[in-house]
Amino acid sequence: MFFKSSQHQRCVKKLELAIHLQKGLSVVIGKIGTGKSTICRQLLRQIHNNDKIQAHLILDPEFNSSEEFLLTIAKTFAINDTEKKSAWQTKDIIKDYLFEQAAKLGKIPVLVIDEGQKLPDFCLEILREFLNYETNKNKLLQIIIFAQEEFNHTLKSKANFADRIASCHHLSPLNFKDTRDMITFRLRKSHRLQDKTPNFFSPLTMFLIYLISGGYPRKIVMLCSKLIIALLVNNKKKAGLFEVINCLRETGNFAYGKIFKFAGILLITGMVIILIFNFALRRGSTAIAERITTPAPLEIKATPTKPATIPHPPINKTTKIERSKKVQQSSSTPLPRILGSLPVESGISLSKMVARVYGRYTRARLRMVMNANKNIKSVRKIRPGDIIIFPREKKKNFLPEPTDFWLELAHKSNLNSAYEIMKNYPENAEPIIIVPTLRPGEDGQIVPVFMLVVERRFTKKEKAVDILKKLPRRLQINARIRQG
Domains and CATH numbers, the chain: 6-170 (3.40.50.300), 176-254 (1.10.8), 290-336+395-484 (no CATH), 339-391 (3.10.350)
pLDDT computed for residue 256 by the predictor: 52
- Contact, 270 vs 451, CB < 8 A? no
Measured distance CA(19)–CA(167) in Å, rounded = 10
> Which helix (DSSP H) or strand (DSSP E) does residue 74 occupy?
helix 66-76
pLDDT computed for residue 200 by the predictor: 84
pTM: 0.51
pLDDT computed for residue 112 by the predictor: 94
Q: In DSSP terms, which residues pair with 458 in a beta bridge?
A: 405
- Contact, 186 vs 171, CB < 8 A? no
Which residues have C-beta within 8 Å of that of residue 416, sequence separation ≥ 6?
340, 342
Per-residue model confidence as pLDDT tens for the chain (484 residues): 778 888 888 999 999 999 988 888 999 999 988 888 899 998 998 888 888 898 999 988 888 888 888 999 988 888 887 777 788 888 888 888 999 888 888 899 999 999 989 989 999 999 998 998 888 888 889 999 999 988 988 888 888 888 889 888 999 898 888 888 888 888 888 877 666 677 788 888 888 888 888 889 988 888 888 888 888 888 888 887 777 777 777 665 545 555 556 556 666 776 777 778 767 666 654 443 343 344 444 444 444 444 444 444 454 444 444 544 444 444 445 667 788 888 888 778 888 888 888 877 888 888 888 888 888 877 777 888 888 888 888 777 677 788 888 888 888 888 888 888 877 777 777 788 888 887 776 666 777 788 888 888 888 888 888 888 888 777 787 788 888 7
pLDDT computed for residue 315 by the predictor: 46
Measured distance CA(123)–CA(65) in Å, rounded = 8
Of 116, 118, 145, 142, give the one whose Cα is nearest residue 130.
142
- Contact, 365 vs 393, CB < 8 A? yes
Of 453, 466, 382, 375, give the one whose Cα is nearest residue 412.
453
Measured distance CA(268)–CA(254) in Å, rounded = 23
